[in-house]
Amino acid sequence: MNEATRRLLGGHTTSAFLRRYWHKEALLVGGAIAGFPALLTREQLFGLAARGDVQSRLVERARGRYTQHDGPFRRARLARLPARNWTLLVQGVNLHDDAADALLRRFAFIPYARLDDLMISYAAPGGGVGPHFDSYDVFLLQAAGRRRWRYGRQQDMRLLPDAPLRILRHFTPQHDVTLAAGDMLYLPPGYAHDGVALDECMTCSIGFRAPAHQELAEAFVDHLRDTLDVPGRYADPDLRSTRTPARIDAHMQRRVAQALAAIRWNRDEVARFLGRHLTEPKAEVVFTWGGDRTRAAFARRIARVGVALDRRTQLLYDDARCYMNGEDAPMPASAATALAQLADRRALAAEACVALSPETIDLLYDWHRHGFLT
């Protein structure tokens, strides 16, 4: 572990942080990133919020009531915002900016299967989204300006009825701190918190995936639907006449139950589903075809300059398969080391590419043509 990661975690090793704080306790870190510059200017963030392929929200507060509007937003709309009490939240900034992606990767001591995205909120003085709690872990890194955070555990998690945001009805914070640029606050799931801008400020939120079991179950059923192969067709050669034609008889129910009992899955099928599900691109991500470069030209190029994943690409792997942007392929034995390195480090140096097997180059070339690599 390098010194920058230790500083990011308040002097703790990654193992100590995970053991003592992760999913358990909040952690305040002053100067987590010394001299941390704002990743984007106000104008650049507004530009992202104007795009149709970027998720953004505008939260305004007036007379104690909150309103929320979803983007994209016209620049003229954002330019007319008042001097106080609003927050612009832009999701998935790491998908569109190299510096934001590099910041997200600082948290790679957490598996990429859990790491979600980097959101940036830009707030005028008094801006915030109200006291609330999240169902996932979050690192709140102050990028510019100052934000006051009140936070703590609480038992009463009831929400305000009919509110556009999930705002707590009663908020009883235990801690009250002010974060300046470079300071960071880690909060585990369920910690109530409320951040209010003291002056114009920018906050980076590094969020993590924590899907509900219901969400996973529904996605898995969709996966099974796409992979099912249940042969046969309903038949009842022993059918008898009836005086109650509207009744579904027990024989039919039993036959259908026997047919559905043929649906089976095992741990390998669950692993395949999970890899596909975790790497599925967000709905707004669209990859561009990688051009007309031939396989031979591609092989010569990566042997000269190496290869890297597009910042929007998610590549994961297990012992048997690799998973790329919602698709999967068997992990070739000859490619296992190189593909694992590409997934973990998100790049392969030229010297590593020189020794790649033809099978590995074939796979990389296919990903290149789909726009998954740079």
Cβ burial of 83 (10 Å; 0-12, 13-18, 19+) is: exposed
**For residues 92 and 25, what is the distance between their CA atoms, to the nearest angstrom?**
26
Domain, as residue range, for 366: 211-228+256-374
Asked if 159 and 223 sit in the same domain, the reply is no
**For residues 128 and 148, what is the distance between their CA atoms, to the nearest angstrom?**
10
Determine how many CB atoms are found less than 10 A away from the CB of residue 306: 16
Asked if 291 and 350 sit in the same domain, the reply is yes
Q: Quote the pTM value.
A: 0.91
**For residues 120 and 45, what is the distance between their CA atoms, to the nearest angstrom?**
8
**For residues 273 and 223, what is the distance between their CA atoms, to the nearest angstrom?**
7
Domain-embedded: residue 249: no
Asked if 191 and 307 sit in the same domain, the reply is no
Domain-embedded: residue 242: no
Asked if 215 and 183 sit in the same domain, the reply is no
Cα–Cα nearest to 140, from 206, 208, 57, 59: 206
Asked if 28 and 161 sit in the same domain, the reply is yes
3-state SS record for 54-96: CCEEEEEEECCEEEEEECCCCHHHHHCCCCCCEEEEECCHHHC
**For residues 374 and 367, what is the distance between their CA atoms, to the nearest angstrom?**
10
Asked if 113 and 196 sit in the same domain, the reply is yes
**Token pair listed for 116:** 């979600």
Give the largest Cα separation in the chain, rounded. 84
pLDDT per residue of the chain (374 residues) written in tens, 0 to 9: 689 999 999 999 999 999 999 999 999 999 999 888 779 999 999 999 999 999 999 999 998 899 999 999 999 999 999 999 999 999 999 999 999 999 999 999 999 999 999 999 999 999 999 999 999 999 999 999 999 999 999 999 999 998 889 999 999 999 999 999 999 999 999 999 999 999 999 999 999 999 999 999 999 999 999 888 888 999 999 999 999 999 999 999 999 999 999 898 999 999 999 999 999 999 889 999 887 889 999 999 999 999 999 999 999 999 999 999 999 999 888 889 999 999 999 999 999 999 899 999 999 999 999 999 98
Asked if 81 and 37 sit in the same domain, the reply is yes
| Number of compact structural domains in the chain | 2
Residue 13: CATH number of its domain: 2.60.120.650
Residue 320: CATH number of its domain: 3.40.366.30
Domain-embedded: residue 245: no
Asked if 215 and 169 sit in the same domain, the reply is no
Bridge partners for 30 per DSSP: none
Asked if 35 and 182 sit in the same domain, the reply is yes
CB-based contact 68:165 (threshold 8 Å): yes
